[in-house]
Structure 1
């Protein structure tokens, strides 16, 4: 920006009515962006909710999403404006959707770009033929009905627009990173934390981002900000960071030790020699039992659910510590309820049975005791937790019964 520009310069030059979001023409977006500059925190909060509901509706992005990005980025960089950390968090959401889909490995942007390119090049008739074949290949009538519903609801043109909009939003945020990297040195801890979180999702920029993150790691005194920077560096870096990050396993603050272990688990999962040690395992097992407190500004990864993130990280240790990792996640699952169970159940099933496949878990009688204990733990979750479709889908991916009563019967537990 020049000295005469403002974060909203050029806002009225965008043809917003010609762009769309979740509810149609995006002519309301300029008003929302203006309201985000308000000194009134209540107005800003309501406006953020509106934007999350329109240009990021349930994780979807739209043609209007990328158009809003430059204005949000300029707001985040303008130190005269309030609420800048929230703007950075929104930018991260617009770029990648819900971050759980990219953890614990980070954004595989090369695969994302290739998949998008292949999908956009597909002939709609070929897509329809593949869907028809998929429906016909269903194992039974119930599965066939489920697949037929998906085929009926699938709109190829709408999906093409969604694929283009998602990648378009990601690249729009990426173009703003040169101006946002400097926020790692911002006076506000919440802004530094949000900047580290945002930068973690752009591996194509790692060569420029990692040096800044490492400087922040060397200088930061706020534990939660330091923890976020460690996780971000672990998501972007490689084996060259192992020795540098390992030193933080002995930090005085539990959240910093957790972050170092999380970063090293990811680096070890990528094949870095010596990254996964008994010290890494010990920190993750301890955090799985009792996640470390992360005071303001907090750790933003996995929406602040450190136990869920830890479970996903323990999956990366399965090659070296399979039994210890499964025991830790199963123990945490037994003490959880509601949506907090979802990442734990997914991680535990992955540790127990590998990736979902056609064979599933198999007969209960053929399972070893650790796997039986996991199934009994799942079947013992309270009825309120079993009301969530999310849990049905998770256990169903491993071909386990998708109701509490049926899973209890499978495990030989008494009816309730």
Structure 2
């Protein structure tokens, strides 16, 4: 119990009722943190689920989020506790939200800090005037209604508070990295993998993290840990690492080869010569056909989706081949798993989103036509999602399934 009490030291010194989470005062957070140290498995699961709902509600962070970080970090480092990898995963979520928003290039922390600094200085009336102009620029009535709703729900004070809470949670986790990075040598492979995943999101700490991550590759035998470390190195590193990462392209484990290719694609996109090769493309394309296992934490374990976004980084050299591979991957998915792949395929096929719509179907190139038919072939389990329709609409395409099929000259169903 001594170690558990140490993990929770100072918990009662915080006035949690004065802090907010998703549902109001955060006075229930201390009990949930204590329950994470319980011997009862169900009690821990219930508490962790409640914490995600309270301090990471649908990706949002709150003042109570940063306050919970020191306790979660100490629990993650307390070898007497179970489930420590889950606490590291929660810390990563509190820091960056949903990671797909930052992939495949990694988080732009400097830009994030700059945008918040600029937002602090802006006057609400100036932002509302920009919203008015944005609404007036809508190209159709449906888009106008969406924009009007965004304008009506804009609350400058609430948005600023939310942005402050997000960056506050990020910096709270960042402050714990020196202690947590030692967990790269933990005896539990799930903890080692979760630690590497956590370190990947802090480029400002790369000078310390990169040597530790590279050292962790020496002697590591667990494929999921090796893969996680490789992707983390790719997100934090630069050109001098290309040769070492490329050596993993010949690994026996497909997951490790995917990770090396993912890291090299990212380094190639940042200007590292020699990072983008035919072998890199081949490994990413193979994942579109058949994602390897075991599961890794990046992109919520959706390797096909992550590979699709990585393939967009290879467009300068392999655009046509990448589009074919991603279209194949799209045909094998449904539901939310289709979202990142559809976005990647559309970007490869048409470049940036097209506000003014596309030409007649017959004027499109063969590969573009194939992608449109693939989109039209996806079932209602995909088209029923507003997120998917918004992705398609962003490229000026029909955003209803039957309209897409009609555009492609496909038969009615």
Shift of 1:361: 3.6
Q: Aligned residue for 2:150?
A: 150
State which of 322, 341, 346 in structure 1 corresponds to 2:343.
346
Shift of 1:95: 0.2
State which of 296, 302, 306 in structure 1 corresponds to 2:303.
306
Q: Aligned residue for 2:287?
A: 287
Shift of 1:42: 1.6
Q: Aligned residue for 2:312?
A: 315
Distance 1:197 1:361, change over 3 A: farther
**Residues of 2 paired with 1:237 and 1:4: CA distance?**
36
SS at match of 2:7: coil
1:379 aligns with 2:380: no
1:140 aligns with 2:140: yes
> Could you list the per-position Cα deviations for residues 272-314 of structure 1 after superposition, in whole angstroms to 9, with x for gaps in the alignment?
10100001111111111001111xxx31100011111111111
Q: Aligned residue for 1:269?
A: 269
**Residues of 2 paired with 1:53 and 1:138: CA distance?**
35
Q: Aligned residue for 2:59?
A: 59
Please identify, of 165-174 and 356-365, the stretch whose mean Cα deviation from structure 2 is larger.
356-365
8 Å contact 1:360–1:397 — kept in the other structure?
A: no
8 Å contact 2:288–2:326 — kept in the other structure?
A: yes
State which of 397, 406, 410 in structure 2 corresponds to 1:409.
406
Shift of 1:332: 1.1
**Residues of 1 paired with 2:141 and 2:286: CA distance?**
45
Shift of 1:132: 1.3
State which of 359, 363, 368 in structure 2 corresponds to 1:362.
359
**Residues of 2 paired with 1:317 and 1:124: CA distance?**
41
> Could you list the per-position Cα deviations for residues 182-241 of structure 1 after superposition, in whole angstroms to 9, with x for gaps in the alignment?
000000000000000000000000000000000111221111100000000000000111
1:109 aligns with 2:109: yes
8 Å contact 1:77–1:183 — kept in the other structure?
A: yes
> Could you list the per-position Cα deviations for residues 35-84 of structure 1 after superposition, in whole angstroms to 9, with x for gaps in the alignment?
01112222111111101101000000001100000110010011111110
Structure 1: runs of 5 or more not aligned: none
**Residues of 2 paired with 1:137 and 1:3: CA distance?**
60
Shift of 1:357: 3.8
> Could you list the per-position Cα deviations for residues 91-130 of structure 1 after superposition, in whole angstroms to 9, with x for gaps in the alignment?
0000000000000001110011111111121111111111
What does residue range 41-52 of structure 1 map to in structure 2 within 5 Å?
41-52=41-52
1:393 aligns with 2:390: yes
Structure 2: runs of 5 or more not aligned: none
**Residues of 2 paired with 1:143 and 1:249: CA distance?**
45
Shift of 1:140: 2.8
SS at match of 2:175: helix
Distance 1:360 1:267, change over 3 A: farther
SS at match of 2:379: coil
Q: Aligned residue for 2:122?
A: 122
TM-score by length of 2: 0.98
SS at match of 1:59: coil
Root-mean-square deviation over aligned CA pairs: 1.3
8 Å contact 1:338–1:384 — kept in the other structure?
A: yes
Shift of 1:4: 10
> Could you list the per-position Cα deviations for residues 15-41 of structure 1 after superposition, in whole angstroms to 9, with x for gaps in the alignment?
100100000000000000000111222
Q: How many residues align?
A: 412
1:324 aligns with 2:327: no
SS at match of 1:355: coil
Shift of 1:142: 2.6
Shift of 1:360: 4.2
**Residues of 1 paired with 2:362 and 2:112: CA distance?**
41
Q: Aligned residue for 1:232?
A: 232
Shift of 1:138: 1.8
SS at match of 2:316: coil
What does residue range 85-96 of structure 1 map to in structure 2 within 5 Å?
85-96=85-96
Distance 1:188 1:400, change over 3 A: same
Shift of 1:145: 1.8
Distance 1:91 1:220, change over 3 A: same
8 Å contact 2:3–2:78 — kept in the other structure?
A: no
TM-score by length of 1: 0.97
8 Å contact 1:353–1:360 — kept in the other structure?
A: no
**Residues of 1 paired with 2:326 and 2:4: CA distance?**
55
SS at match of 1:406: helix
8 Å contact 1:262–1:313 — kept in the other structure?
A: yes
